[in-house]
Structure 1
Amino acid sequence: MVPPGGYRWWYVDAISADGRYGLTIIGFIGSVFSPYYKKSGRDIPLDHSCLNIALYGKSGARWVMTERGAADIAQSRDHLQIGPSAMRWQNDKLIIDIEERDIRLGIPWRRRVKGRIVLTPEVLNARSFKLDAAGKHNWHTIAPRARIDVAMDQPDIQWTGSAYLDGNHGSEPIEDGFRDWHWSRAHAGEDVAVIYEGTRRDGSHFASALRFDQHGTPHEEELPLVAPLPPTLWAMKRQTRADRGHASVLRTWEDSPFYARSALSMRIFGKPVTAVQESISLNRLIHPVVQFMLPYKMPREV
């Protein structure tokens, strides 16, 4: 149960075996980015749920983030239905059935986005982490390493690759807890490297470098050097940590006024890797101009 003012999300990212495609999928209850949830006073998180789908590649790129009300949501321990789409655990696999319409700024008609994605964990982790002393914000890497099978009907794309699954939950708005953060993950040989750092709302800094071993057990490692990255077109600051403090941007997957997601090339824990990285500015998120713009990217259906 998500408390009033709180949130919960489940996050998947993946890169195809040939490096041509990528995706992220996030199931939200109490969508942290929703201007409707913020404006409502955040009393009913379930009434502000959505499935965010981002497909990347030269062909078939799509963006979906349609918010739905409580009447369109059904949930149980192993199942989350958000409108016509759903995420569910079945036979130790996470199955995501998608039936949505995409969003393209300036174009009134929306293309169908339909398909099935199956994530099969290769290792699981039982430990979660508090991101603040009071435990109001928590993060859990559920499956640091997984296989993924993507079978989309619309667009017509099929691929397999490597994936990652985690979840976050909190009991207050995310911007009340943080000013910004930078996060990245990479499959490094048999290990998985996850870097998470940022600034809390009270000005304190947090940073950790975790190495999940082949059994999924997390080990805290010495922080690698800061690896600055070029700002995005929206002048979003982004950075990661890497061996010798060097990383390069392969592709900028998302570039928005308050959020950036990128694919990086770098070395971590002595291994050359392709990493998925994100940077977010919560100060930018709550700016009135950004709040005015968000409904064009995140429509609501009730």
Structure 2
Amino acid sequence: MNVATYGPGGRFTMTDRGRSALRQTKDMLRIGPSKMGWNGKHLVVEIDEITAPPQFARVRGTVRLTPSAITDQELPLTEDGAHVWRPFAPIAQIEVDMEAPGWQWAGHGYFDANFGIRSLEEDFSYWTWGRYPTRDGTTCFYDAVRRDGSTLAQAARFDASGDVSDIEPPPRRKIGKSLWQVKRETRGDDASHPKQIMNMLDAPFYSRSVMKTRLDAEDVIGVHEALDLRRFSKPWLKPMIALRVPRRPGWRFDSDQSA
């Protein structure tokens, strides 16, 4: 389970576990010592992890997400449907209660997921994604370049009841490259100048940040991602990923072993 916190004392954990660490039911997913479950009203995530090197610290706590509505929408990212984006709850409230001073807060959030039957680097060269809360709901952009040269340019607006409408994407706007020189761009009104408000996660192939842009004459701040899968597929990068995503193939649910 990937967990990342940002700012002073921020931590990152993403342990790659074997099949024995997985338990799944209709309403619950458990991966080793951590789990998430749906109780009919809330998605409750119980976290018990250890940070990736070079840090070695516990990350424990609970995240509770309450959707304003759950959508039934799916966006195929390839023509054959091999990759799908599923915005379960584009608008939600969250409560965070972690076992560290100052890591307790409540605010605005969302819940989405990607599914696929092939690895991303098989089908994509590059993509960007952005989600921007607005006065009327939230707006999401998905732009991608596929390996065959075709492109995806999707813009959608969600309201608090879960209704979605496709909208005409505003023009692409360039943003400065990340610290690892990953190319970044998002969408914005004519004459708008999107800019990074906060760097959240910076990797050789991936950037996540808080971004400000302007949509329909409204200044909005949201989460932005850029993913360079050409760089991700380079052999020299794999050892670096292995350091940040350690493998723990052995896990027994009846044991008292640590994460």
TM range, normalised to the smaller chain? Answer: over 0.9
Separation (CA, whole Å) in 2 of partners of 1:173 and 1:126: 24
From 206, 217, 234, the equivalent of 2:152 is 206
Q: Which residues in structure 2 correspond to 1:158-237 (within 5 Å)? A: 158-237=104-183
Partner of 1:126: 72
Offset of residue 57 of structure 1: 2.3
Offset of residue 252 of structure 1: 1.3
Offset of residue 201 of structure 1: 1.2
1:29-73 Cα offsets, whole Å, 9 max, x none, are xxxxxxxxxxxxxxxxxxxxxx00011123x41100011111111
Partner of 1:87: 36
From 207, 210, 220, the equivalent of 1:263 is 210
Offset of residue 257 of structure 1: 0.6
TM-score, L = length of structure 2: 0.92
Offset of residue 269 of structure 1: 3.0
Q: Does 1:247 align with 2:197?
A: no
Offset of residue 169 of structure 1: 0.8
TM-score, L = length of structure 1: 0.80
In terms of fraction of residues, the more strand-rich structure is: 1
1:208-227 Cα offsets, whole Å, 9 max, x none, are 11111232111111111111
Secondary structure of 2:181's counterpart equals: coil
Structure 1: tracts of 5 or more residues without a match: 1-50
Offset of residue 156 of structure 1: 5.1
Over the aligned positions, Cα root-mean-square deviation in angstroms equals 1.2
1:212-245 Cα offsets, whole Å, 9 max, x none, are 1232111111111111110012110011001224
Q: Identity percentage over the alignment?
A: 36
* Greater relative contact order (CA < 8 Å, ≥ 6 in sequence): 2
Offset of residue 154 of structure 1: 3.6
Contact 2:187 2:213 in 1 (8 A): no
Offset of residue 270 of structure 1: 3.0
From 111, 117, 125, the equivalent of 2:57 is 111
Separation (CA, whole Å) in 2 of partners of 1:268 and 1:259: 25
Secondary structure of 1:215's counterpart equals: coil
From 19, 25, 40, the equivalent of 1:70 is 19
Structure 1 moving runs of 4+ over 6 Å:
none
